[in-house]
């Protein structure tokens, strides 16, 4: 399918601000008429719906249909050719480099969820409350963002998109979730749950390897081994 969108619509779409991942997907759609999940994967996006969500955040209406190509069932996305009044300039905006650098420095270049230390290029400035839920404030505020490593950002995207609040869009529900406030939360995607994510890097890797070996000897999953030993530590601490 070749691109067959009208000139006025194409000019409007190109006037919008997109994330880097969305910009590549939009270019492909405007040139070829559509883009499939497989094509997004070929671009290096292992979570294709996130790129599509970014296009929607910018104010463009995206149409999704399921197709079978080469025996594989997948989604194909096209753009609905309508200019959404008032959308230009009010969608997701690219964050200035100075703002992102200030955010990373404020958090000592650590991922807010797993605590791993990363370089600027490895971190992503993430809305604490997803843009789809709360949008952007008139003025950029560091308190409304947090740095996430790529792995944690993908995990957040998947969890948010499968959370009941993704359609309800209650800001307070998001604000009290792990994926908004890792240091002080009451639930994860609406479920009463607590989770500990810890990154072992560099000279600390041996600690993880030793715990993994100990769990293997005990014949239990690493997570169960950690729970057991933390529980034992807390009980012994209570006994004084």
Q: Each residue of 61-111: pLDDT tens digit?
A: 899 999 999 999 999 999 988 877 554 445 556 678 899 999 999 999 999
Distance (Å) of CA 188 to CA 55, 129, 164: 26, 13, 11
State the Cα–Cα distance between residues 32 and 44, nearest whole angstrom: 18
Report pLDDT for 85.
57
Helix orientation angle between 7-15 and 20-32, rounded to the nearest 10 degrees: 170
Which residue's entry shows tokens 């008429």? 33
Q: Is pLDDT of 1 > 50?
A: no
Q: Where do the domains of the chain lie?
A: 7-79, 97-175, 211-238
Q: Are 83 and 8 in contact (CB under 8 A)?
A: yes
Average pLDDT over the chain, rounded to whole?
87
What is the CATH code for 7-79?
A: 1.10.10.10
Residue 131: predicted pLDDT: 83
Q: Encoding tokens for residue 160? A: 């948010």
CA-CA distance, 171 to 183, in Å (whole number)?
18
145 pairs with which residues across the strands? Answer: 127
> Comparing 7-79 with 97-175, is the CATH topology the same?
no
Name the CATH code of domain 97-175 (choices 3.30.70, 3.30.1380, 3.10.50, 3.40.1800).
3.40.1800
pLDDT at 92: 59
More confident site: 216 or 20: 216
Model confidence pLDDT, tens digit, residues 160-193: 988 999 888 899 999 999 999 999 999 999 999 9
Mean pLDDT of 126-153: 89
How many other β-carbons are positioned within 10 Å of the β-carbon of residue 47? Answer: 17
- pLDDT level of residue 240 (50, 70, 90 thresholds): low
């Amino acid at each position: 399918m070749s691109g067959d969108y009208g000139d006025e619509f194409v000019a409007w779409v190109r006037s919008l601000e997109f994330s880097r991942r969305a910009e590549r997907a939009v270019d492909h759609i405007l040139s070829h008429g559509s883009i499939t999940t497989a094509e997004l994967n070929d671009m290096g996006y292992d979570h294709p719906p996130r790129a599509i969500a970014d296009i929607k955040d910018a104010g463009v209406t995206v149409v999704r249909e399921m197709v079978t190509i080469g025996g594989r069932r997948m989604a194909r996305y096209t753009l609905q050719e309508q200019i959404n009044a008032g959308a230009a300039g009010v969608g997701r905006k690219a964050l200035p480099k100075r703002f992102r650098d200030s955010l990373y420095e404020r958090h000592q270049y650590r991922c807010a969820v797993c605590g791993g230390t990363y370089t600027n290029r490895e971190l992503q400035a993430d809305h604490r409350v997803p843009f789809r839920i709360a949008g952007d404030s008139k003025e950029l505020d560091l308190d409304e963002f947090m740095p996430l490593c790529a792995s944690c950002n993908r995990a957040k995207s998947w969890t948010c998109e499968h959370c009941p609040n993704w359609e309800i869009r209650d800001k307070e529900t998001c604000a009290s979730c792990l994926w908004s406030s890792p240091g002080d939360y009451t639930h994860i995607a609406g479920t009463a749950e607590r989770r500990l994510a810890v990154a072992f890097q560099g000279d600390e890797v041996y600690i993880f390897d030793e715990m993994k070996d100990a769990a293997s000897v005990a014949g239990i999953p690493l997570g169960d081994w950690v729970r057991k030993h933390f529980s034992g530590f807390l009980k012994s601490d209570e006994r004084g």
